[in-house]
Structure 1
Amino acid sequence: MELSALITLGVVVAVLATLASTRIAPDVVLMAALAFLAISGILTPGEALSGFSNPGVMTIAVLYVVAAGLKETGAIQWVAHSLLGQPKRLKHAQLRVLLPASGLSAFMNNTTVVAMFIPAVQEWAQRLRLPPSKLLLPLSYAAIIGGTCTLIGTSTNLVVDGLLQTQRGVSLGMFDLAWVGVPLVLVGGAFLYCFADRLLPDRLGVLEQLESAREYSVEVSVEPKGPLPGKTIQEAGLRSLSHGYLADIEREGRLMTAVPPDTQLLAGDILVFIGAPECARELRRIHGLKPATGDVHKLDIAHHNRCLVEAVIGPDFAGLRQTVKQSRFRSRYQAVILSISRAGNRLPGKVGNIKLQVGDTLLMETGQEFVEQYRYRKDFLLVSALNDSTPLNFRKAPWALAILGAMVVSSAVGLLNILEAAFLAGGAMLATRCVTASKARRYVDLTVLIVIAASFSLGAAMNKTGAAAQIAQWLMFADDLSPWLALALVYVMTVMFTELITNNAAAVLMFPIATAVADQLQVNFMPFALAIMFAASASFMTPLGYQTNLMVLGPGGYRFTDYMRLGAPLSLLVAITVVGLVPLVWSF
């Protein structure tokens, strides 16, 4: 093997190891790899940057605008509420979730679909007295599987289609994938319908789970010069709060528990309240109380510009597995954590000493611009911001759905290719004011686009240096290897990469290897390319492999083992279906 191929393999291994074992942002890792390949001379600048001009990447960028129009008009929410209905049994409820989620995600971004369904399903489950833990993970899986039915169903499909166009001169139609995707929805949906109820937990009763899902402990202190010193707890109005109750009083280093209502308050008392986030808002309105967290006073934000924000820690949060103090949270985000909830339970002890984890829900005091600044980044999955007080423009929902339908039809009948149809649809969303230009700009996830485009440089280097051909030769452990077995090996390898790194990066890395395997077997490359499309989307075994899996982690009260329990057999079933069907549609 030539030196350039060895260097390329070293870069690929380094990228995989870094993404799997560190919290460095994927776009930083892949851009560093791109820069190295260009500077070392393995790729020319044009080859290294070719991903940024790929039609698949541009199509994904434009579809973000289309998804923005659907979300801002409430079109998805309108359809979801129309389809959910009022079932009385859990099985009927699961069916009402599986069908619309898989159907909608075939034509729009599945992350957007799941984000809109989560609050609807939670409210619906509470009203019908059904456990949301039995519904939310099937919702995520149904959206993932549904996205495999059409070319625009998931970004992975568009990425592989872009590679096929640029490297093989082949372009897929809107519904070409449906020959495998629709049977996959039927098989996967049937499995979820039959076994999700048995395999998923119901750890708490529904009402108890919903009541404790966002419970915090909030500490306030009695101001020495305020009106409260000398008053009893009852006289101060602290026994009649709507959203919380007084649990303890810390006085001169001594903890007083179960305090009676006639206990007198003293200057400097630290009062510990337990309740919902609204409890903190109630306490802020009581004159004579101030936050006991010392860092609140260090915020460089005018008092009238502050607000309380609830946020869930995302996978790209910089201070994971560090204490709040070690993460320099206040100085980094200009926000102070008042309390932390994990898996539906409040965490006791000093906030500054708590180690932060993915899925932790934070109650923070911060500036009003915090929500806009971090709404579209991966540091946090904002809870408060998802329930935006700005009313949705439901009058525009029919316009948004009509634009989506026109895009799908014009591409399906061959009138326009998918990129042209997406450009027109995005422009129509802006022209009809379904979404404003400023909001559309915020919906475009530059991190995802950079990761995808930079990944192309790795694929190009593996092709150019012969590294892909060498890996393909290693996979061919026997001279008379069956194409079916080779296809299965490519599928399994793609799934492994998807669980370790992002699904799009896995597809780009595996594409040159898969086509090299096909070339060495002297068979059609299409079954291998299509297997990559489906395998890169088949992330069911961990909450971190796919964004929608992480989104339901907190609301469903799931643990990592729950994903493996339901996701492992589903992954095996999907693998058998794909490897069995793909060669029948695209023959070797």
Structure 2
Amino acid sequence: MNLEQTMILAILAVTVGMFLWGKWRHDMVAAAALLACVAVGLIQPVDAFLGFGHNAVVTVACVLILSSALQSSGAVDVLTRFILPSKAGPTLSIAALTALAAILSGFMNNVGALALLMPVAIQIAGRLDLPAGKVLMPLAFGSILGGTTTLIGTPPNLIVSGFRESAGLGLFRMFDFTPTGVAVALVGVVFISLIGWRLVPARQKAGIEGFETEAYMTEARVPEDSKLVGRSLRELDDEMDELDAQIIGLVRNEVRMMAPSAARVIRPNDILVIETDAESLADVLSTFGLELEEEEEAPTSDSDKETNDEIILQELAIMPSSILENRSASDLLLRTRYGINLLAVSRQGQRLMSRLRAIKLRPGDLLLLQGPPDALSSFGSNMGAVPLAERKVRIPDQRNVILSAGIMLGAVLLAASGWVSAAVAFAAGVLASMALRTVNLRSVYEQVDWPVIVLLAMLLPVAGVMQSTGAAGLVAGFLLDYFAQGNAVIALVVILLTTMILTDLMNNAATAAVLAPIALGVANQLDVNPDTFLMAVAIGASCAFLTPIGHQNNTLILGPGGFRFGDYWRMGLPLDLLVIATAIPMLLWVWPLNG
């Protein structure tokens, strides 16, 4: 072992130790490792930050932005409504939810997929009278499994692709991961659906209150092309029940009818008075093709059109002694004076009898408002109303749903075609999203998880040193001599198992960056197909099922599920064993060692 190898292995050992210690954030540890390599001369200062231009780093950033467009447009909400069963039992409901999470995670950030489906999971748990954790853990694990199926499904896949390129073998293509990844995901989803969720400890719900809302009363206009035209109110009862909503009134020609006859037929331009919660409101509007009454009447000046991408929805609670007390939206001239719309009002379970714009507000009322962030903030502070904990209330916009889904599909197909690299394809997708305003231009860069980007950019040069100094080959030789004893299949199992153990204890991207050069070293010494070993690293780095710290999705469900640190292995350990049992034969078949 020469001096350079000793130094890089020492830096790597300290880096892994810092990752496991958890005192510093992962990006800080990665930066420290990079600077240590520069300080001892293993990396030239001019080359220190080349990682920020790496294909994997650019692709991860672009996929995060495109994922946010799918999320904010309501495209996933539409998909969820058509796929998830509304009256199925636990097994089918959990199977459908877990499978949907896996499918979404193959093409968007899996943390975003989990965040989108968490409220749905909690609603399903409530309907089935199950502890929330028994639905949340299958959802989290399903979203992790789905990341193994495509190049962009998870950062480890992009990282191993980058190491393949640095080894002179070229980049992996979009669907090179699919055969093995789909097999692993399919076996995992079936196990979770039939057996796994039953192994999850039943814990008390914690933090679920953040997803609960009071029932709002809102008004929605029936457009001429709505599917409701010509139908009676009686016909809608079951469909409204499925969406946790009900029609409590109808306005026709400015005449309000409370508790209208169930036989009354809906006409174009009728205004339906609907009672529902904020989370269900978007589903009601998109399912029936309705338009929010106040939104329909909002100003449409040129300046409004230019800033349309800055319009948000926010819930505010009226404080005691607020100057809003006993005043209505009409009294306040909300649209004229503040440029905001009142979309709905909730009053502690009471049914409000007045038209929305004429309701006299009281302390404790919840208001669902629409407008620019600055205007809403100013209104709240001046009027004595405070914003609730942030809620992602999405009113699906058909144009943005189609555009955001089309852009993501186009980027995936372009990357899959091989005409351009994945980084270029998804960067083009981001540009198209910005040009067509499917993402908020002001906050587009806020959608990027910068600690992950910095982690990747800093660790890639460090991992490159492992390869260039021969240290990776040194570690590979140790693993072969003491564990695999020259057997390629056993070596493959050792690489997969080592990766899976490390990824449960430290960031999955960091794990992939550390193990990829070692995997290449093992393949080179055995003179076998390096792709088999790189794919093992990709699979192993994605499968963090034993601890709440191994993956962000595991951490996200810790509070809402009421879990303890040791709860994850009960379903995670048998799932890990199934992953190994499925992945090894699939890897040997799809990526034969002598290939």
TM-score with structure 2 length normalisation?
Answer: 0.68
- When residues 423 and 213 of structure 1 are mapped into structure 2, their CA distance, relative to the original with a 3 A threshold, is closer
Q: Does residue 320 of structure 2 align to residue 285 of structure 1?
A: yes
| SS of structure 1 residue aligned to 2:148 | coil
- Does 66-75 or 162-171 show the bigger shift? 162-171
Structure 1 residue 21: deviation in Å?
1.1
* Alignment equivalent of 2:470, drawn from 466, 469, 491: 466
Supply the distance in 2 between the matched residues of 1:211 and 1:384 (Cα, whole angstroms).
11
For residues 56-83 of structure 1, the C-alpha deviation after alignment (integer angstroms, 9 at most, x for no partner) is 1111111122112111112122212322
- Does 18-27 or 164-173 show the bigger shift? 164-173
Matching residue's letter, 1:171: L
- When residues 490 and 439 of structure 1 are mapped into structure 2, their CA distance, relative to the original with a 3 A threshold, is same
- When residues 144 and 384 of structure 1 are mapped into structure 2, their CA distance, relative to the original with a 3 A threshold, is same
* Alignment equivalent of 1:455, drawn from 441, 459, 484: 459
For residues 446-476 of structure 1, the C-alpha deviation after alignment (integer angstroms, 9 at most, x for no partner) is 1111101111122122122222111111111
Aligned to 1:535: 540
Supply the distance in 1 between the matched residues of 2:127 and 2:496 (Cα, whole angstroms).
42
Structure 1 residue 425: deviation in Å?
1.1
Supply the distance in 2 between the matched residues of 1:484 and 1:458 (Cα, whole angstroms).
28
Matching residue's letter, 1:442: E
Supply the distance in 1 between the matched residues of 2:202 and 2:105 (Cα, whole angstroms).
27
Matching residue's letter, 2:186: L
Aligned to 1:486: 491
| SS of structure 2 residue aligned to 1:433 | coil
Matching residue's letter, 2:542: S
For residues 263-287 of structure 1, the C-alpha deviation after alignment (integer angstroms, 9 at most, x for no partner) is xxxxxxxxxxxxxxxxx978x6279
* Alignment equivalent of 2:576, drawn from 553, 571, 574: 571
Supply the distance in 2 between the matched residues of 1:480 and 1:118 (Cα, whole angstroms).
46
- Percent identity between matched residues is 31
Q: Retained in 2: the 8 A contact 1:134–1:196?
A: no
| SS of structure 2 residue aligned to 1:118 | helix
| SS of structure 2 residue aligned to 1:168 | coil
For residues 536-557 of structure 1, the C-alpha deviation after alignment (integer angstroms, 9 at most, x for no partner) is 0010101111011111111222
Q: Does residue 424 of structure 2 align to residue 411 of structure 1?
A: no
| SS of structure 1 residue aligned to 2:167 | helix
Structure 1 residue 383: deviation in Å?
9.5
- When residues 195 and 157 of structure 1 are mapped into structure 2, their CA distance, relative to the original with a 3 A threshold, is same
Aligned to 2:432: 428
Supply the distance in 1 between the matched residues of 2:453 and 2:395 (Cα, whole angstroms).
30
Matching residue's letter, 2:400: K
For residues 333-385 of structure 1, the C-alpha deviation after alignment (integer angstroms, 9 at most, x for no partner) is xxxxxxxxxxxxxxxxxxxxxxxxxxxxxxxxxxx99x99xxxxxxxxx9922
Supply the distance in 2 between the matched residues of 1:433 and 1:406 (Cα, whole angstroms).
16
Q: Retained in 1: the 8 A contact 2:138–2:197?
A: no
Supply the distance in 2 between the matched residues of 1:459 and 1:576 (Cα, whole angstroms).
29
Supply the distance in 2 between the matched residues of 1:157 and 1:507 (Cα, whole angstroms).
8
Aligned to 1:180: 180
Aligned to 2:350: none
Supply the distance in 1 between the matched residues of 2:31 and 2:417 (Cα, whole angstroms).
38
Supply the distance in 2 between the matched residues of 1:162 and 1:178 (Cα, whole angstroms).
18
Task: Tell me the matched-pair count.
Answer: 430
- When residues 3 and 202 of structure 1 are mapped into structure 2, their CA distance, relative to the original with a 3 A threshold, is same
- When residues 447 and 465 of structure 1 are mapped into structure 2, their CA distance, relative to the original with a 3 A threshold, is same
Supply the distance in 2 between the matched residues of 1:128 and 1:561 (Cα, whole angstroms).
25
- Segments of 5+ residues of structure 2 without an aligned counterpart are 213-315, 323-372, 378-386
Supply the distance in 1 between the matched residues of 2:461 and 2:428 (Cα, whole angstroms).
29
Aligned to 2:521: 516
- When residues 383 and 490 of structure 1 are mapped into structure 2, their CA distance, relative to the original with a 3 A threshold, is farther
Q: Retained in 2: the 8 A contact 1:495–1:538?
A: yes
Q: Retained in 1: the 8 A contact 2:207–2:559?
A: no
- When residues 212 and 457 of structure 1 are mapped into structure 2, their CA distance, relative to the original with a 3 A threshold, is closer
Q: Retained in 2: the 8 A contact 1:30–1:455?
A: yes
Supply the distance in 1 between the matched residues of 2:21 and 2:415 (Cα, whole angstroms).
41
Q: Retained in 2: the 8 A contact 1:81–1:120?
A: no
Q: Does residue 12 of structure 2 align to residue 12 of structure 1?
A: yes
Supply the distance in 2 between the matched residues of 1:509 and 1:577 (Cα, whole angstroms).
24
Supply the distance in 1 between the matched residues of 2:211 and 2:404 (Cα, whole angstroms).
34
Supply the distance in 1 between the matched residues of 2:210 and 2:149 (Cα, whole angstroms).
38
- List aligned pairs for 1:378-417, cutoff 5 A: 384-385=389-390, 387-388=391-392, 391=395, 393=397, 395-417=399-421
Structure 1 residue 188: deviation in Å?
0.7
Supply the distance in 2 between the matched residues of 1:22 and 1:197 (Cα, whole angstroms).
29
Q: Does residue 131 of structure 2 align to residue 166 of structure 1?
A: no
Matching residue's letter, 2:151: L
| SS of structure 1 residue aligned to 2:430 | helix
Matching residue's letter, 1:155: P
Supply the distance in 2 between the matched residues of 1:102 and 1:199 (Cα, whole angstroms).
20
Q: Does residue 580 of structure 2 align to residue 545 of structure 1?
A: no
Aligned to 1:154: 154
Aligned to 1:506: 511
Q: Does residue 450 of structure 2 align to residue 446 of structure 1?
A: yes
Structure 1 residue 43: deviation in Å?
1.6
Q: Does residue 59 of structure 2 align to residue 93 of structure 1?
A: no
Q: Retained in 1: the 8 A contact 2:505–2:547?
A: no
Structure 1 residue 404: deviation in Å?
1.3
Aligned to 2:248: none
Q: Retained in 1: the 8 A contact 2:95–2:192?
A: no
Structure 1 residue 87: deviation in Å?
2.7
Q: Retained in 1: the 8 A contact 2:137–2:197?
A: no
- Segments of 5+ residues of structure 1 without an aligned counterpart are 215-279, 288-367, 373-381
- Does 116-125 or 519-528 show the bigger shift? 116-125
What is the RMSD computed on CA atoms of the aligned residues?
2.7
Structure 1 residue 148: deviation in Å?
0.7
Q: Retained in 2: the 8 A contact 1:48–1:456?
A: no
- List aligned pairs for 1:103-252, cutoff 5 A: 103-203=103-203
Structure 1 residue 401: deviation in Å?
0.9
TM-score with structure 1 length normalisation?
Answer: 0.69
Q: Retained in 2: the 8 A contact 1:47–1:460?
A: no
Q: Retained in 1: the 8 A contact 2:93–2:124?
A: no
